[in-house]
Amino acid sequence: MEALIPVINKLQDVFNTVGADIIHLPQIAVVGTQSSGKSSVLESLVGRDLLPRGTGIVTRRPLILQLVNVDPGDARKNDDSGREGDEWGKFLHTKNQIFTDFEEIRQEIENETARISGNNKGISDDPIHLKIFSPHVVNLTLVDLPGITKVPVGDQPNDIEVQIKDLILKHISNPNCIILAVTAANTDMATSEALKVAREVDPDGRRTLAVVTKLDLMDAGTDAMDVLMGRVIPVKLGLIGVVNRSQLDINNKKSVADAIRDEHAFLQKKYPSLANRNGTKYLARTLNRLLMHHIRDCLPELKTRINVLAAQYQSLLSSYGEPVEDQSATLLQLITKFATEYCNTIEGTAKYIETAELCGGARICYIFHETFGRTLESVDPLGGLSTIDILTAIRNATGPRPSLFVPEISFELLVKKQVKRLEEPSLRCVELVHEEMQRIIQHCSNYSTQELQRFPKLHEAIVEVVTCLLRKRLPITNEMVHNLVAIELAYINTKHPDFADACGVMNNNIEEQRRNRMRELPSAVPRDKASATGPQGDQDGTGNWRGMLKKGEEAPGSGPGSPLKGVVNLLDVPVPVSRKLSSREQRDCEVIERLIKSYFLIVRKNIQDSVPKAVMHFLVNHVKDSLQSELVGQLYKSGLLNDLLTESEDMAQRRKEAADMLQALQKASQVIAEIRETHMW
């Protein structure tokens, strides 16, 4: 089982090469307040001074520290200085550079921290990766996090406390992470900030190990016996006490090895019954054991996660496509695929069916039968026509001679005016279909032919060609629809079978109504006299024109003393806006209204049927039939190949990143498979 930790280290190396943070590997995160002794604990585990020190916040970037146990004879040479040693370190950001001087390692950590986080005590969540090889360490992966603080200092932002807490929670929220909560013994454990933060993500304490530092600095007459026995704050993984070097010891260059010997002596003297379960060496062994068991428990889920991600990145890489080798074949293939998908979207056989809204041919059908159909049905056959308008048209059509019958020319004039109103909704139907065919271009680009996203210039060219084709067909289709209405206006076919039948029924109804009115007249009134006078009669003998004057008015020039008294100037008589019609006038208007309505319904039915057919023939079907040849003719040219098949700037980078990640996941899967083969899991 000891070999499990190197396996995790190997997985960490694999994912470090691609800068990936999508796999949560088992690790140990060190959490504590500033000056709680976090750095001293880590240095005790390493056995060397390697971490920056100072006042205030020193750790300003997460430090992922991998400890790798090596054989004592496995020495490495520093390529720069030529020095040899059995302990050395490597940073991820310095590639293969080897550090054997731990003072240089400390300086590199400070320099790298300042490079990203600046010199103003600000923090960053970009981690520093450091690997230490030594025969004196146990295999561990530790994450040193910034110390918890309350008050900003220097140029730190006002929300530095929130920033640090969010950074800590980001790491310890990982369910595969063991939390090493460091608390000083000379503070109240009940108010430990480290344990408080740990409980937010691990309320049961199943993956929290408490470390009590500075046992030698407790007040005289007190000890940490109750704390170390777990009587104050129970933690399921246990509590381990350690003694760190003081600042004076560090200033006097006291070695870590000497400090560990003094720690052992202190524990034997102060806590003899607990000495074998506390101290730095016991902490290292415990962390090693906990991490191994934790890795063993996490591996099944880790393997599943890696396999799922590998499948996802394989699919992503496939969507990016392979680098173009045969430009001509690739261009022709993309053009053909786009044209096919465009036509399939119209026909309803596309691979990607829209579920949120109508699209393509379904929307065109909706435009024809719902939008256009309902709009035509809402057009009132007599809309915009008043009774006075109809009566005026009848009178104008008769000229100076009174007519015995309703003039046919008045019907034609009025019905043409009404039929003309069908042209606007018909042209609007063409416009809506044109807009939908324009939308299909974007639909195909987004869902059907994702390969076009690789080549933005080709995509733009295809959109331009299809848009121009649609734009070219739009006036032709509009002209045809205009002609359909013009054809109806050119010849009013009063011999149309439906119109003739309607006229016959209407004439019978009018005659029946006339007979009914004659029967209802009083018997004292002669029928010939009744038919000759209007509803009001002309009893004053002055003619109907007097009825056009207001009560009390006299005809112009007929006032007292006027030489033209009794003579009427009809040109000065205003035409009334409304008045009560005579029986004949009412009958004539009813005849015209019924004829207009009957003929209008016939024409509307024709337009409702012929406009969709014209749109389909001149616009939709023509574009479908000529799209492939139009695209090939405009784009399939040798001089355009290089330009059209130029990938977007980030596509090559995204393909490389996806390929690298897929390779890393495959390597990780292979590493885990090797564990199963050796029966370690």
Residues of the chain with pLDDT under 70: 1-10, 12-22, 54-56, 73-85, 120-121, 154-155, 352, 355, 402-406, 447-450, 500-579, 649, 675-681
Amino acid sitting at position 274: L
Q: Which residues contact 660 (CB under 8 A, 6 or more apart)?
A: 17, 18
* Angle in degrees, 0-180, between the axes of helices 256-270 and 38-46, rounded to the nearest 10: 110
Tokens read off for 497: 């079978």
Asked if 134 and 67 touch (Cβ cutoff 8 Å), the reply is yes
The three-class DSSP label of residue 298 is helix
Check: CB of residue 22 under 8 Å from CB of residue 658.
no
Using alpha carbons only, give the angle 15, 20, 26 rounded to the nearest 5 degrees.
Answer: 60
Region at 154 (left for phi over 0; alpha for psi -120 to 50; beta for the rest): left
Provide long-range contacts, Cβ within 8 A and 24+ apart, for 261-267. Answer: 266/215, 266/216, 267/215, 267/241, 267/243
Phi, psi values for residue 389, rounded to 5°: -60, -45
Joined tokens for residue 636: 């399939």
**CB distance 294 to 8 below 8 Å:** no
pLDDT recorded at residue 558: 47
> Would you list the DSSP string of 109-161?
HHHHHHHHH-SSS---S-PEEEEEEETTS--EEEEE-PPB-SS--TT--TTHH
Task: Return the pLDDT at 291.
Answer: 83
DSSP 8-state secondary structure symbol assigned to residue 369? I
Helix/strand/coil for 238: coil
How many Å apart are CA 63 and CA 29, to the nearest integer?
10
Sequence-separated (6 or more) residues with CB below 8 Å from residue 466: 342, 441, 623, 627, 630, 631
Task: Produce one character per residue of 665-678: b if its CB has 16 or more CB atoms within 10 Å, e if not.
Answer: bbbbbebbeebeee
Q: Which helix (H) or strand (E) holds 193?
A: helix 193-201
Say how far apart CA 115 and CA 111 lie, in whole Å.
6
User: How far is Cα 442 from Cα 148, in angstroms, rounded to an integer?
Assistant: 51
∠ CA 250-252-257, nearest 5°, is 60
Give the helix ranges, DSSP H, for 354-421.
Answer: 361-366, 373-377, 387-398, 408-419
Per DSSP, the three-state class of 183 is strand
Output 217-224 pairs: Cβ under 8 A, ≥24 positions apart.
217/184, 217/185, 217/186, 218/185, 218/186, 219/186, 223/270, 223/271, 224/185, 224/271
Q: Are 306 and 663 in contact (CB under 8 A)?
A: no
List pLDDT tens digits, range 1-55: 555 666 666 676 666 655 556 677 788 899 998 878 888 888 888 888 888 876 6
> Which two tokens mark 264?
């052992």
Predicted local confidence at residue 429, as pLDDT: 95
Q: What does the alpha-carbon distance between residue 223 and residue 227 come to, in Å, rounded to a whole number?
A: 9
CA–CA gap between residue 360 and residue 372 (Å, rounded): 16
Q: What's the token pair of residue 591?
A: 């005849």
The rounded distance, in Å, linking the Cα atoms of 315 and 628 is 29
Buried b / exposed e over 161-200, threshold 16 CB at 10 Å, is: eebbbebbeebbebebbbbbbbbbbebebeebbbbebbbe
Rounded Cα distance, 112 and 118, in Å: 9
Q: Contact, 636 vs 331, CB < 8 A? A: yes
Tokens of 142: 């530790």
Nearest alpha-carbon partner for 233 in 258, 211, 201: 211
How far is the C-alpha of 614 from the C-alpha of 480, rounded, in Å? 7
Distances, alpha carbon 6 to alpha carbons 63, 141, 177, 281, in Å: 18, 9, 16, 20
CA angle (241 as vertex; 237, 245 as ends), nearest 5: 140
Q: What is the pTM of this model?
A: 0.56
Phi, psi of 181 (to 5 degrees): -90, 115
Q: Are 586 and 406 in contact (CB under 8 A)?
A: no
What is the per-residue pLDDT for 539?
Answer: 41
- The residue behind tokens 């109240």 is 188
| CB contact at 8 A, 421 and 485 | no
Q: How far apart are CA 609 and CA 602, in angstroms?
A: 11
